[in-house]
């Protein structure tokens, strides 16, 4: 049944909790803007990430990508969902374009939970966040030379 594919509210809550927790490790001396993320794999493992900034601003890394490379480096590259958390009380934190493209590398049909510190959230799929995107399947030799 379709419902079976959906994540239960308990699981969503747990994932969001872990994204909030991940925020505590943020290394962000430049922006002072802490972000946390927690990604849930198809094998039901969770990986937590935070933003890691750099004195050369453009060399930092977002929390979402940190969580995802952790997963990949541990052998997990199929995802069900990712939750993102910040300290902004009145805004749902949304992923940057680079993180959307990074998510999209691993599929378009999984869920992104954009949250507030109180646990409220908006859910969108990767596809909705990055419409008309390109990914691994577009770089086949056939497509590129045609």
Which residues are known catalytic residues?
A: 64
CB neighbourhood size of 107 (10 A): 17
Q: Which tokens sit at 134?
A: 């390109």
Residue nearest to Zn ion (CB): 62
* Sites for a second copy among residues 75-94 (CB under 8 A): 75, 77, 87-92, 94
Q: Which of 66, 79, 81, 113 binds a second copy (CB under 8 A)?
A: 66
Q: Is residue 55 within 8 Å of residue 31, measured between CB atoms?
A: no
| Main-chain phi, psi angles of 98, to 5 degrees | -65, -40
Q: Is residue 76 within 8 Å of residue 41, measured between CB atoms?
A: yes
Annotated ligand binding at 27? The verdict is no
| Strand pairing class (121-125; 35-41) | unpaired
Annotated ligand binding at 99? The verdict is yes
Q: Which of 13, 17, 70, 123 binds a second copy (CB under 8 A)?
A: 70
61 makes contact, choosing from a second copy, Zn ion, none, with CB < 5 to 8 Å by partner type, with a second copy
Contacting positions for Zn ion (CB under 5 A)? 62, 96, 99
């Amino acid at each position: 049944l379709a419902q079976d594919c959906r994540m239960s509210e308990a699981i969503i809550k747990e994932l969001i909790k872990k994204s909030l927790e991940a925020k505590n490790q943020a290394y962000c001396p430049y922006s002072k803007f802490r972000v946390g993320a927690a990604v849930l794999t198809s094998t039901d493992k969770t990986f937590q990430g935070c933003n890691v900034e750099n004195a050369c601003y453009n060399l930092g890394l977002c929390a979402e990508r940190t969580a995802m490379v952790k997963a990949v480096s541990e052998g997990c590259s199929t995802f069900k969902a990712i939750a993102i958390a910040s300290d902004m009380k009145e805004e749902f934190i949304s992923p940057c374009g680079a993180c959307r493209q990074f998510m999209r590398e691993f599929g378009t049909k999984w869920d992104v939970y954009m949250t507030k510190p109180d646990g409220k959230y908006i859910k969108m799929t990767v596809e909705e966040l990055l419409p008309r995107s390109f990914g691994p399947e577009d770089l086949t030799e056939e497509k590129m030379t045609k």
